[in-house]
């Protein structure tokens, strides 16, 4: 949980910076809207790199184990984020500035792409059988917790640096990631390999086929449904968080601190939702909880935006709190669900592909797409429509998956799928 919090902190501070700073720092020669779109375009590149990270690290995670792979992903993510904080601005080195930003964003995306699957499996495969939902929700807490930490740091630095925030203050959150990475490495170095992986390796020591080939040949349907089930958490999350900050500050001209506080509220309720859904799903199953909250998201998408448009801080925070609870509940379930639908020999690769391909398709592209559509139509409706559509895709995908909360993580060899 701590490791994923650190990695998501690294990833999220770029999203916040893209919403309010990077358009002026790295793309100053275009107008405000196009600068924001360009910043979100680089934001999307990090997501497009995540499937590559999932493939690379998923392969090694299934072949040599979960633990050591996670140490590498944390280092890669942390170093690339730290270096963003020292890139000179466009006014200092010209076109080299956004090019360096793109390179580091790609490296960070590769690191995060390999991080998620390993963190989830490390938790779920160590968990007691009747508590996999709760344990699986713990690394999921890392996403809203990372966003919460990033927003808190961002808000404090923004308030204390004043006019200097747009020139040098924004660098502080990136530089702080160096300290956090050291903490994460110390913690992860003490964790043993999962008993499920060790048992699987003992049961099938000769099974050395490439996990990706096995998945594409024998588990295509499960992979596609996994990708679809992540749509609302991969893309919808960034409607609530990254895009909403830009929409509130740039379009509605709401105070930046009000929207950033809304992000804190959203993240706090997301943490509560993740833990609560994991706990409840251990009793009633993954599907009932997921279907309930994804259906709520479809219905709630438009009212949430109407509440934000009141421009009243308390109303905005309540709107984002409900969104955080719904999105956190859905995301919390995906840790255990993703692990349970794949065989242990291909589990790291399968879980990673489901999450990271979905993130590449609709995660990083969501702020870019929604910003462009709202600018083109001159109306806010594309944003809630997109959120509702993503939730509907996820709802249908999970309807087509079996219930898994009572299945064994290590099937008998003679009955196990390859």
Overall size of the chain counted in residues: 418
Cα separation of 110 and 210, whole Å?
Answer: 20
What confidence tens digit (pLDDT) does each residue in 302-341 have? Answer: 999 999 999 999 999 999 999 999 999 999 999 999 989 9
Per-residue pLDDT at 207 = 52
Q: How far apart are CA 298 and CA 244, in angstroms?
A: 17
Q: Is residue 371 part of a domain?
A: yes
Task: With respect to residue 33, please indicate whether it lies within any of the assigned structural domains.
Answer: yes
CB 197 within 8 A of CB 342: no
DSSP summary character for residue 207: -
pLDDT score of 182:
85
What is the model's pLDDT at position 29? 66
Task: Identify which of 150, 156, 143, 137 has the alpha carbon closest to the alpha carbon of residue 180.
Answer: 150
Give one word for 417, left, alpha or beta, with left for phi > 0 and alpha for psi -120 to 50. beta
Q: How far is CA 220 from CA 39, 213, 214, in A?
A: 34, 10, 9
- The count of domains in the chain is 1
Does residue 354 contact residue 338 with C-beta atoms inside 8 Å?
Answer: yes
Distances from the Cα of 58 to the Cα of 55, 198, 215, 282, 390, angstroms: 5, 16, 12, 26, 25
pLDDT of residue 180: 81
pLDDT at 293 (0 to 100): 97
Residue 416: the pLDDT is 42
- Series of mean pLDDT values for 10-residue runs along the chain (418 residues): 80 74 71 68 76 88 84 86 84 82 86 86 89 93 84 84 81 85 82 83 63 85 94 89 84 87 89 95 95 97 95 95 95 92 88 87 83 87 94 96 87 47
- For residue 327, what is the domain's CATH number? 1.20.1250.20
Of 16, 77, 106, 144, give the one whose Cα is nearest residue 360. 106
pLDDT of residue 326: 96
Q: Bin 285: left if φ > 0, else alpha if -120 < ψ < 50, else beta.
A: left
DSSP conformation class of 240: I
Would you say residue 270 lies in a domain? yes
pLDDT of residue 414: 40
CB 131 within 8 A of CB 121: no
Q: Is residue 203 part of a domain?
A: no
The pLDDT of residue 62 is 86
User: How many other CB atoms are there within 10 angstroms of residue 312's CB atom?
Assistant: 14
Q: Using H for helix, E for strand and C for coil, what is the string for 23-65?
A: HHHCCCCCCHHHHHHHHHHHHHHHHHHHHHHHHHHHHHHHHHC
Q: At what angle do helices 132-161 and 96-124 cross, to 10 degrees?
A: 150
Q: Is residue 36 part of a domain?
A: yes
Which structural domain, as residue segments, surrounds residue 293? Answer: 2-186+208-399
Q: How far apart are CA 232 and CA 248, in angstroms?
A: 21
Task: Say if 191 falls within a structural domain.
Answer: no
In a domain, 406, yes or no: no
This prediction has a pTM of 0.81
Q: Is residue 405 part of a domain?
A: no
pLDDT at 391: 96
Selection from 175, 217, 16 nearest residue 83 by Cα: 175
């Amino acid at each position: 949980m701590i490791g994923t919090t650190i990695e998501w902190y690294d990833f999220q501070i770029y999203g916040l910076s893209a919403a309010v700073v990077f358009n002026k720092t790295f793309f100053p020669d275009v107008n405000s809207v196009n600068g924001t779109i360009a910043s979100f375009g680089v934001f999307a590149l990090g997501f497009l790199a995540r499937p590559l990270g999932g493939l690379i690290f998923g392969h090694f995670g299934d072949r040599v184990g979960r633990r050591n792979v996670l140490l590498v992903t944390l280092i890669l993510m942390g170093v690339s984020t730290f270096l963003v904080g020292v890139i000179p601005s466009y006014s200092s080195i010209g076109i080299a500035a956004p090019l360096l930003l793109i390179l580091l964003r790609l490296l960070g995306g590769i690191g995060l792409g390999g991080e998620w699957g390993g963190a989830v499996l490390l938790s779920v495969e160590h968990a007691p059988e009747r508590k996999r939902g709760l344990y699986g929700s713990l690394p999921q807490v890392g996403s809203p917790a990372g966003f919460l930490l990033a927003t808190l740091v961002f808000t404090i630095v923004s308030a204390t640096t004043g006019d200097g925030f747009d020139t040098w203050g924004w660098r502080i959150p990136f530089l702080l990631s160096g300290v956090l990475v050291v903490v994460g490495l110390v913690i992860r170095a003490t964790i043993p390999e999962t008993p499920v992986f060790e048992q699987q390796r003992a049961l099938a020591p000769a099974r050395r086929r490439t996990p990706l080939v096995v998945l594409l040949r024998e588990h295509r349907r499960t992979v596609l449904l996994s990708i679809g089930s992540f749509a609302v958490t991969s893309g919808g999350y960034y409607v609530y968080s990254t895009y909403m900050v830009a929409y509130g500050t740039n379009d509605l001209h709401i105070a930046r601190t009000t929207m950033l506080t809304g992000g804190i509220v959203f993240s706090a309720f997301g943490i509560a939702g993740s833990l609560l859904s994991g706990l409840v799903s251990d009793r009633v199953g993954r599907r009932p909880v997921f279907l309930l909250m994804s259906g709520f998201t479809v219905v709630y998408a438009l009212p949430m935006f109407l509440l934000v448009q009141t421009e009243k801080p308390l109303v905005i925070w309540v709107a984002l709190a409900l969104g955080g609870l719904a999105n956190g509940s859905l995301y919390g379930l995906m840790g255990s669900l993703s692990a349970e639908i794949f065989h242990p020999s291909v589990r790291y690769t399968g879980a990673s592909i489901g999450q990271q391909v979905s993130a590449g398709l609709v995660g990083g592209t969501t702020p870019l797409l929604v910003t462009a559509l709202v600018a083109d139509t001159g109306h806010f409706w594309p944003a809630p429509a997109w959120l509702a559509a993503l939730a509907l895709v996820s709802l249908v995908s999970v309807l087509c998956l079996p219930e898994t909360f009572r299945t064994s993580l290590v099937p008998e060899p003679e009955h196990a799928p390859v």
